[in-house]
Amino acid sequence: MLGLSTLKALNLIETKNAEIKVIAETIKLPRRTDIPERIKALCQEQSILLESLHFTSLNFKSFLPLYMKHKLNPDYPADYSYSYLQAQQTGNSKFADMDSYNRRNIDKYLSNIQAMETLTRIQDDIATLEKHLEINEESGEDTVDAEVMGIKIGDCVIISSPAEMLVEVGLNVKKASPCKHTFMAAYSNGYLHYGAPADYYDKGGYEVTECLLAPEWQQLYEETAAKIISKL
């Protein structure tokens, strides 16, 4: 169906002579300077999470069936038998006390799992930031060269970026473009890892961590892209 609809659309496309024009400009984008502070903040978060870990009598083998019992029958997880229900009705608290104890252990175990998951992410983020810090420091420069190329074919414009831009940046370029058809060609003519919007840096996340550039890169890039488009 996709192939047939493509062939149908192809027959409806009207072609005409189109001029081609290319403009390329190399700009200097600022390198990040906040990486040491980001690493320090992650290390502090790491310490808090480590302190939050609490011992329980459970391991994964004992946790899983116990957790399933409490999920399948939260009112009477210890036993489904008549004797258990009868004990509840007569006020025998042995089972209730055991359920309460098990619930506390389950909650602590789940809390430990969540903390460990976050700790593994932080450990990976720290390693990534340290790698980018080393790259920036070894360069010996506060900026990095970035080529921005504009290609106009008829009423279509393609703008390149050496960074893997997030969609907000591309949408800003398209919105500012007077051309009917404006397309982005990210990670072209070089690769500067992710290019996150400036207001993303304090939100964290993979793209912000995997980033060599300072937040100011966005405005410089968008201004350059708009200038190139206006000249095409």
Span 143-188, pLDDT tens digits: 999 999 999 998 899 999 999 999 999 999 999 999 989 999 988 9
Cβ contacts of residue 80 below 8 Å, gap of 6+? Answer: 73
Q: Distance between CA atoms of 201 and 210, rounded to whole angstroms?
A: 11
CA 63 to chain CA centroid, Å, is: 31
> pTM for the whole thing?
0.79
Tokens 């116990």 correspond to 66
- What whole-number percentage of the chain has pLDDT above 90? 77
Element (H, E) at 71: helix 60-72
Average pLDDT, the chain: 90
* Confidence at residue 153, expressed as pLDDT on a 0 to 100 scale: 93
User: Quick check: helix, strand or coil at residue 26?
Assistant: strand
Which distant-in-sequence residues (6+ apart) come within 8 Å of 219 by Cβ?
198
**Which of 44-53, 74-83, 144-153 is least confident?**
74-83
Q: How confident is the model at residue 6 (pLDDT cuts 50, 70, 90)?
A: very high
Residue with tokens 């038998």: 81
Q: For residues 209 and 129, what is the distance between their CA atoms, to the nearest angstrom?
A: 6
Chain centroid offset of residue 11 CA? 41
DSSP, res 213:
B
DSSP-assigned letter for residue 185? E
Determine which of 27-31, 42-46, 77-81, 149-153 has the lowest per-residue pLDDT on average. Answer: 77-81
Q: What is the pLDDT of residues 210-228, one digit of tens each?
A: 999 999 999 999 999 999 9
- pLDDT of 151 reads 97
Cβ 186 vs Cβ 164: under 8 Å = yes
Whether the per-residue pLDDT at 92 is higher than 80: the answer is no
Q: Going by DSSP bridges, is the β-strand pair 194-195/156-160 parallel, antiparallel, or unpaired?
A: unpaired
* DSSP 8-class letter at 211: B
Worst-scoring range by mean pLDDT, 30-44, 66-80, 121-135, 182-196? 66-80
Q: What per-residue confidence (pLDDT) applies to 175?
A: 95
Question: pLDDT at position 46, please?
Answer: 96
What span, in angstroms and rounded, lies between the C-alpha atoms of 147 and 159?
10
39 pLDDT band, cuts 50/70/90, is very high
According to the model, what pLDDT value does residue 82 have? 46
